Amino acid sequence: MKVVAQRLDDILWALQPLKVEWQDDVARRVIVRLQKFPRRKIYAAADIQRILDLNFDDGLLICRLFLALSKDDFTAALKGALGGSGSGIKRYQMDKSRFIGGLVNLGLPEAMVLNTDRKPKWSDVLVERLRSGRGSAISGQKRGRGVEDFAEAIVKSVFGANYDKRCTFTGSRNRTAKCDFAVPSKTNPQIVVEAKGYGATGSKMTDVIGDIEKIIEAKRADTAFLFFTDGLTWNQRKSDLRKIVEYQNAGDVTRIYTSSMGDQFKADLEQLKSEYSL
């Protein structure tokens, strides 16, 4: 083989995008079913049952597509509608009417009418690509930032401008850690707040454990550490949430809050403000 000296520009010029076939057997089956899906003015529980009885897993995917929900969002919403932990075929077979009722409560019949009656345009294809690609990433960012903004509004209502946000604070023995809010400042934090919201399961939900542990390790023993979070997908990562609760039970985290506990969060901040003379 002849020895040659290759150039970076030559390699870069020769690169091509990696094309993959996105359709697997499941996708092909679902596409066939969607192409044959009956168009009606009204859909009822019996129609949903036929979708699920033919092939439960494929049928559940079809339901999710009609509702335009990610797998994580759909699973969390369905479990919430069913009022329990299960949302698979065993739960369906145990009580079909309740399972279908949960899907009805999520607005599935209306979504089926809306989608089957829609007149397609060429731009719909590109909009859907935008939604599933960039839109999915933006939605995740907005969920997390929405929780931060909600928590910050309460922090600001209690302390005014007397706090630093999204900063690295200095704690015990000059140890440092990142947090979302440090009151009254990052150089002398007497209250630290970490706010995380999730709409999809993944490594970030486990990473927050490491973030919490860093704060616990860095903060002074007399510094209040408040953790603010939200998102139904914690139901799929209960072991991680349980770990955070264990830290709270051990006194490492002062208290855990969700958006529905906003009033309690504000009341506790006001009490800490008085106790710390802030």
Q: Residue 111 above 50 pLDDT?
A: yes
The domain locations on the chain are 19-118, 139-275
Chain Cα centroid distance, residue 6: 46
Which band of pLDDT confidence, cut at 50, 70 and 90, is reported for residue 139? low
139-275: CATH number:
3.40.1350
Long-range contacts, 178-183 (Cβ 8 Å, 24+): 178/211, 178/214, 178/215, 179/215, 180/148, 180/151, 180/152, 181/151, 181/152, 181/155, 183/155, 183/159, 183/278
Task: Find how far residue 126's CA is from the centre of its chain.
Answer: 25
**pLDDT tens digit sequence for 17-56:** 555 566 788 988 999 999 999 999 999 999 999 999 999 9
Helix axes 108-116, 96-105, angle to 10 degrees: 60
Q: How confident is the model at residue 208 (pLDDT cuts 50, 70, 90)?
A: confident
Q: Which of 11-15, 55-59, 163-167, 207-211 has the lowest mean pLDDT?
A: 11-15
Q: Region 176-198: what's the mean pLDDT?
A: 94
